[in-house]
Amino acid sequence: HGPFKKSDLPKKKNAPWTILVQNINHHFSFANSFLNFFKFIPYARLDDLMVSYATKNGSVGPHFDSYDVFLFQASGEREWKISDQKEFSLDKKSAIKIITNFRSKNSWVLKPGDMLYLPPNIGHWGISQSDDCLTYSIGFRAPSTFEIQSKFLDFIQDSLNTNKNYLYKDPNLNLQKDPAEINANMIKKIQQTVNQLLWNKNLINTFIGQLLTEPVETAIFQRPKPISLEIFKKNLSKKILELNPKTRMLFIKNNFYINGELIEVDKKYAAYLRQLANNKKISFKPSLDKKDLNALGITLLPLYLSGFIDFIQ
């Protein structure tokens, strides 16, 4: 695992090797723009753009991924062998899901501009055919049932009303024959307490919005130098506002979520935030009067100060 210095990388004349760089769209504008070609799939499914470089015969090895992925050949050539196996034997010593009993069903050699789509859990093996092999992997999120349910339970726990944190009581406790037995009355009371955990559609929507906009663990947002609301509004009226490449912003109707947080906004201004979420940038120059500019400034300034959004310089 990195980070690596240039001097850490092997020379091309040495044995075949490969290097993978994840979340490259967080650091390079061309990579972030490249993802616009995949807007036919909702942003809620998008994970990241990973780049793999390999010298001739370089390869990760036969493996499978737990998500959808598009493999775009940017330069050089790479042969892809695909398996139709339903069961795999894995190398237990490997950090990734290397398949030890891989059997190839089909193979293709991808040249610059070619692309291959792979659903989750399809065995594949990419082998570089040149010393300038560069492959873009556009990964899409496929959260598991366990991940969704476990995170929802965490979310519900954080949403509990602590004002009703009553202690268990049993004033009518009777002497029982077997002291080690959990009696029916205690079971009933605890079942009633558990059944008080209720959630509605709005609460679930909030959970979904927060879950799907959680930034990746490695995302670090640099906070800008603090500015006043007046200066921010002045910039808002003159400059283009854009999302930080690491920012995830989605919406459900008029409810907006950014990096795991719910944004409170008047419905009157929802169209502006939808534009920001869809296009990842917005210009307010010709369209706002002072009242609207002030209202949007109050909503957006905290996001700017958190490093979630910025002005295009």
- pLDDT mean over 90-111: 92
Query: What pTM did the predictor assign?
Result: 0.87
Residue 250 sits at the vertex; the CA angle it makes with 245 and 256, to the nearest 5 degrees, is 120
Residue predicted with more confidence, 313 or 113 = 113
Rounded distance between C-alpha atoms, residue 37 and residue 193, angstroms: 50
pLDDT(150) > 70: yes
Rounded distance between C-alpha atoms, residue 270 and residue 240, angstroms: 18
The share of the chain scoring above pLDDT 90, in percent, equals 74
Residue 161: its pLDDT value, please? 62
pLDDT confidence tier of residue 59, bands split at 50, 70 and 90: very high
- pLDDT mean over 153-163: 77
CATH architecture of 6-140: Sandwich (2.60)
Residue 173: its pLDDT value, please? 86
pLDDT(227) > 80: yes
- pLDDT mean over 102-107: 96
Rounded distance between C-alpha atoms, residue 129 and residue 55, angstroms: 8
Rounded distance between C-alpha atoms, residue 258 and residue 250, angstroms: 7
- Which residues in 186-202 are b (16+ Cβ under 10 Å) and which e? eeeeeeeeeeeeeeeee
Q: Does domain 229-311 have CATH number 3.40.366.30?
A: yes
Residue 162: its pLDDT value, please? 53
Domain ranges of the chain: 6-140, 229-311
Per residue in 283-299, pLDDT (tens digit) is 987 778 899 999 999 99
Q: Is the backbone of residue 270 left (phi > 0), alpha (psi -120 to 50) or beta?
A: alpha
pLDDT(163) > 90: no
> Which of 5-9, 187-191, 213-217, 262-266 is the least confident region?
5-9
Token match 């990241």: residue? Answer: 48
Nearest to 257 by CA among 205, 307, 219, 292: 205
C-alpha 173: how far from chain center: 51
Rounded distance between C-alpha atoms, residue 276 and residue 80, angstroms: 38
Q: Which two tokens stand for residue 130?
A: 């040149």
Nearest to 73 by CA among 134, 32, 132: 134
Rounded distance between C-alpha atoms, residue 129 and residue 281, angstroms: 39
